[in-house]
Amino acid sequence: MEFVYETAPTRVVFGRGTVRTALPGEIDRLGASRVMVLTGKVHQSLAHTAVTPFADAVVSFFADAEEHVPAPVADRAVARARDARPDLLLSLGGGSATGTAKIVARDLRVPILAVPTTYAGSEATPVWGLTREGRKETGEDAAVRPRTVVLDPDLTDQLPRTLAVASGINALAHAVEAYWAPGANPISSAMADEAVRALAAGLRGVGPEGLARAQAPENALTDPVGVWAGTPTAAGEQLLYGAYLAGATLAAAGSGLHHKICHVLGGAFNLPHAALHAVVLPHVLALNAPAVPAVAGRIARALDADEAVSGLRGLAASVAAPRTLAQIGLHFRQLDEAVDRVSATLPIDNPRPVGKNEVRAVLTAAYGERAA
């Protein structure tokens, strides 16, 4: 056995109510006296409440974070930080808030304390990304990995059900691809086993009663918050625990075809990030499973299923995850462009050789019946 496993020091504080009970102490522990808060519009109120115990230390409040981190938004955040001269960035929100903080950290070398409100997992990685003129740019920099992460299931439990499901499967994608990513090793694969198990258990625990309400015709056009009472306690803890582990496996092993597809399509067509991962994952797994039967067996066992691909599809169906690219906003006329954009990034590291034909097969299957 021979492998390389590299990790970085990150302090993780996990528990219910930690944003209230532990966050002030973690700010002190990092010796911060000038804190810049980065969040999105939906979390402004929560962020203001969370920083009340150390409000005197807050020197700037940036609430314009957006999904896919558009370059103009990131540029404004960096400019704001240059003026405020913070010694700590506090990101509170989903991947958009964490991602915006990462660009500031990359450019100004200011540490991050992250409080995630979704299962994005980006708080566990040194990967940054932003979208410039429809193209997603990504890279790695140790400076963007948060120094401390506060994981509070009380926050993520309040996700709208549809977003909780998509975000949970997005996290699942991090763990699944980590089995065959360029830096895969026995330690990261063991972490992926546990991440898949926890995420599958959490997704199943979301509950059939909430699912029935969400699928009711009279609720089809309403705000999902109005038809979802919140993630059950045990399920929410498993989901957040699994999501962090999945992000850590991605950080250790790297990414491949699945993430390349999602980054390209998300940036080019402004598709919802978590839902896009949920749609694409079963099709990338179906492409690669025959080439890595031992890995497919591990995934099946972690899913408590007889077979990996059918087990993943069954799990997605049981929680009403988004199923097609058409469903999440890709137009049929854009399918050829999507194939061309992804194919332009080839070659790409993958257990099965990938050319334009394979890209077209994956995206056609993911688009849905009209493209078949």
Tell me, what's the pLDDT at 306? Answer: 96
CA 308/CA 348 separation, integer angstroms:
23
- Phi/psi at 355 (5° precision): -120, -170
The sheet that has 148-151: what strands, in order across it?
11-14, 148-151, 112-116, 88-93, 35-38, 58-62
Tell me, what's the pLDDT at 244? Answer: 96
The DSSP code sequence of 95-158 is HHHHHHHHHHHHHH---EEEEESSS--GGG-SEEEEEETTEEEEEE-GGGS-SEEEE-HHHHTT
Helix, coil or strand: residue 37: strand
Determine if residue 111 is left, alpha or beta; phi over 0 gives left, psi from -120 to 50 gives alpha, anything else beta: beta
Helix, coil or strand: residue 249: helix
Tell me, what's the pLDDT at 296? Answer: 97
Domains annotated for the chain, with CATH where assigned, are 11-156 (3.40.50.1970), 161-371 (1.20.1090.10)
Residue 41 per-residue DSSP state: G
Tell me, what's the pLDDT at 370? Answer: 62
Tell me, what's the pLDDT at 4? Answer: 84
Tell me, what's the pLDDT at 371? Answer: 56
10-residue averages of pLDDT along the chain (372 residues): 82 96 97 98 95 97 94 97 98 96 98 96 93 89 97 93 91 96 94 97 72 38 41 85 96 94 93 93 96 97 97 94 94 96 94 96 89 53
Tell me, what's the pLDDT at 369? Answer: 67
Tell me, what's the pLDDT at 222? Answer: 39
Tell me, what's the pLDDT at 232? Answer: 64
Tokens at residue 204, please? 């199943």
Tell me, what's the pLDDT at 215? Answer: 42
Tell me, what's the pLDDT at 219? Answer: 37
Beta-bridge partners for 93 = 116
